[in-house]
Amino acid sequence: MMPPKPTHPLRPTAPSTVLEIDPSSPGTAVRAALALESLFNLVLARGMLLAPRATANQLFPRDAAPPAPGDDGPVLALLVQWVGVWTLATTVPLLLALPNRAGAVERRQMARDK
């Protein structure tokens, strides 16, 4: 008797079910969540771009441990600004998914998959 053949971990053995979304549904809860997350992202990205050191100090307080050498160097500010740009870039699909027009379901699926 042969042992069962191992399956690839990334390939499901059973067919996956396709998620069906009702296009007639207004999606109010999803749209409100997208709007709230978009607003939060825009506010946070603004702080990251305009005041990177202050934003880093608020996001990562150093009260628990003494600061390491070079904690407030230019690399920290550059990294925080880079994350701010990335946050703005990932907010675009969320904003595009807000209107409930034709194709809105597909845009929401794209925002969910990002």
The model carries a pTM of 0.63
Return d(Cα 97, Cα 104) in angstroms, integer: 6
Return d(Cα 114, Cα 112) in angstroms, integer: 6
* Angle, helix 52-59 to helix 28-50, in steps of 10 degrees: 120
Region at 51 (left for phi over 0; alpha for psi -120 to 50; beta for the rest): beta
Instruction: Check pLDDT > 90 for residue 96.
Output: no
- Beta carbons within 10 angstroms of residue 4's beta carbon: 5
Q: How far is CA 71 from CA 21, 50, 56, 79, in A?
A: 47, 18, 10, 12
Instruction: Check pLDDT > 90 for residue 70.
Output: no
pLDDT in tens, 17-69: 666 666 667 778 888 999 999 999 999 999 999 999 889 888 877 775 666 55
Return d(Cα 17, Cα 40) in angstroms, integer: 33
**Every domain of the chain and the residues it spans:** 28-59+72-113
pLDDT at 7: 61
